[in-house]
A and B are shown apart, each in its own frame.
Chain A
Amino acid sequence: MVQTAIFWPMIGLALVTLVVTLWLVVVRIKVTRSGDVNIDYYTTYQKGTEPDYIIQATRNLTNLFDFPLLFYVACTLSYLTAIVDDTQLYLAWGYVALRAIHSLIHLTYNVVPHRLGVFLISVAVLVALWVRFAMAL
């Protein structure tokens, strides 16, 4: 098994993060130029507010720096200890797919139970990645 294969799902999730970041930059420039949001809002993020769809995107970007950080650590450790096998790789790709769906729901129709369901399954996959790492130590 080529151990570096585990870096591709990591790159995949980093790309999801990049896409959400760029999307957020684009919509923020758009609403600031149209006058829907005063640019002073971005000084402290306390005065005034943004449209819901931007608040949701901001939340999603923040979320991409919560549990996903543990995903990057799990993948790095799996590589370092050379325990990357097919199962670990499938789990990692599964996690990336679920987080991509999670972001897609959050940025579009945002039905909370759907988002919660995808989130919970992604946490279960992440736990599996960590348990497999711990058992291989």
Chain B
Amino acid sequence: MMQTAIFWPVITMVGLTFVVGLRLAWLRVSGSLKKPGDPKHYNPRNKDEAPVATTNCSDHFKNLFEVPVLFYTLCIVSYLTGNVDYWQLYLAWAFVGFRLLHSSIHLTYNNVLHRFGAFLLAMFALIAMTVRLAIGL
């Protein structure tokens, strides 16, 4: 098993983060161009002042630096300890798949229950990866 294979789900997750980050920058720039001189669009403390699409995107961008950071750590440790096998790889791709779904829901129709479902499934994949790594140590 090529141990570096675990880095492709990592790269995909990072790619998703760039896409969401740049979308947020775009929403903020275009939003403030519509209201020149109004800096409130940059301040998430004034949630009622910014369009809901912008605050959702801003919330989501933050989320991408919560659980996914554990995912990066797990992948790196799995690589370092030679624990990358098909199970770990499939679980890593499952995590990325569910997080892609989670992002798509949050940035579009944003049904909280659907989003929660995708979040939980990603979480389960991550827990399974952690257990799998702990067993392999």
Specify the main secondary structure of chain B where it touches its partner: helix
- Bound state CA distance, A130 and B15, in angstroms? 9
Residues of B within 8 A of A26 (CB): none
**Residues of chain B having any CB pair with chain A under 8 Å:** 4, 7-8, 10-11, 14-15, 17-18, 21-22, 25, 29, 32, 39, 42-43, 45, 61-62, 65, 69, 72, 76, 79-80
Report A-chain residues with C-beta under 8 Å of the C-beta of B65: 65-66, 69
| Partner-binding segment picked from A3-11, A84-92, A112-120 | A112-120
- Nearest CB of A to B33, in Å: 11
Q: Which of B29, B39, B80 contacts A80 (CB 8 A)?
A: B80
Stretch at the interface among A36-44, A70-78, A95-103: A70-78
In the complex, how many angstroms separate the beta carbon of A93 from the nearest chain B beta carbon?
Answer: 20
A137 — which chain B residues lie within 8 A by C-beta? 4, 7-8
Contact count A vs B, C-beta below 8 Å: 51
| Contact indicator A116/B10 (Cβ below 8 Å) | no
CB proximity of B126 to chain A, nearest CB, Å = 16
Confirm or deny: A23 has a beta carbon within 8 angstroms of a beta carbon on chain B: no
Q: Can you list 19 residue pairs at the A/B interface with Cβ under 8 Å?
A: A55-B45, A65-B65, A66-B61, A66-B65, A69-B65, A69-B69, A73-B14, A73-B72, A76-B76, A77-B10, A112-B32, A112-B39, A116-B29, A123-B18, A127-B18, A130-B11, A130-B14, A134-B11, A137-B8
Name A residues whose Cβ lies closer than 8 Å to a Cβ of B: 55, 65-67, 69-70, 73-74, 76-77, 80-81, 112, 116, 119-120, 123, 126-127, 130, 133-134, 137
Closest residue of chain A to B8, judged by CB?
Answer: A137
User: Are B18 and A80 in contact, with the CB atoms below 8 A?
Assistant: no
Given the complex of chains A and B, what is the CA–CA distance between A80 and B82 in angstroms?
Answer: 13
Q: With a CB–CB cut-off of 8 A, which chain B residues contact A65? A: 65
Beyond A80-B79, A123-B18, A133-B7, list 4 extra A-B contacts (CB 8 Å): A73-B72, A73-B76, A77-B7, A123-B21
